[in-house]
Amino acid sequence: MTLTLILTRHAKSGWDDPALDDHDRPLNARGQADAPRIGGWLRSKGYLPDRALVSSARRTQETWERLSPELGRPVPMTVVPALYHAEAGEILGQLRRAEGRTVMVIGHNPGIGEFAHRIVEDPAEHPRFLDYPTCATLVAEFPGETWGDVDWWSGRVVDFVVPRDL
């Protein structure tokens, strides 16, 4: 049996208000445009999650709100506060508790980029995979029955995209 992970860094956020707490930063105009493009790409490729795990930060929530309508069907979403600026190990721990055959995780760098590198056997052949820019999205497959079976270096890259590719 195969499990599929869709791993997305939040879309580009704004820094217009220096008094605003990092957790509360919204998407900027580019991020607002990029998130639905990634959602449309996922739908066009048939990469449709059964469930989404999303950081509690405003920019990840807004990424989901703009991306999810493009999927073409409702997808249950769970806000996971532990994903806010989570390190790679925390992301793996949250994923291991996930339900569904295809799970989407929306989080933050540097943890999400490190997680992407450590979760797959071989990196995506893309010049931006190493820095995992905003709205970068990895699709990876894993052997196993449950997400609890997933471990480092066990995934196979299926696809990887950044908004500028679309």
How crowded is residue 123: how many other Cβ atoms within 10 Å of its Cβ? Answer: 13
Dihedral sign for Cα atoms in the order 109, 113, 118, 120: positive
Q: Render pLDDT for 109-127 as a digit per residue (tens, 0 to 9).
A: 999 999 999 999 999 999 9
Q: How far apart are CA 92 and CA 107, in angstroms?
A: 12
pLDDT at 15 over 90: no
The CATH number for 2-10+23-165, chosen from 3.40.640.10, 3.40.50.880, 3.40.50.1240, 3.40.50.300, is 3.40.50.1240
Question: Looking at residue 59, what is its pLDDT?
Answer: 98
Question: Looking at residue 142, what is its pLDDT?
Answer: 98
Bridge-based pairing of strands 102-107 and 77-79 is: unpaired
pLDDT at 96 over 90: yes
Question: Looking at residue 119, what is its pLDDT?
Answer: 98
pLDDT at 18 over 90: no
Average pLDDT of span 25-43: 98
pLDDT at 1 over 90: no
Q: Render pLDDT for 36-63 as a digit per residue (tens, 0 to 9).
A: 999 999 999 999 999 999 999 999 999 9
Per the CB < 8 A criterion, the answer to whether 50 and 103 are in contact is yes
How crowded is residue 74: how many other Cβ atoms within 10 Å of its Cβ? Answer: 8
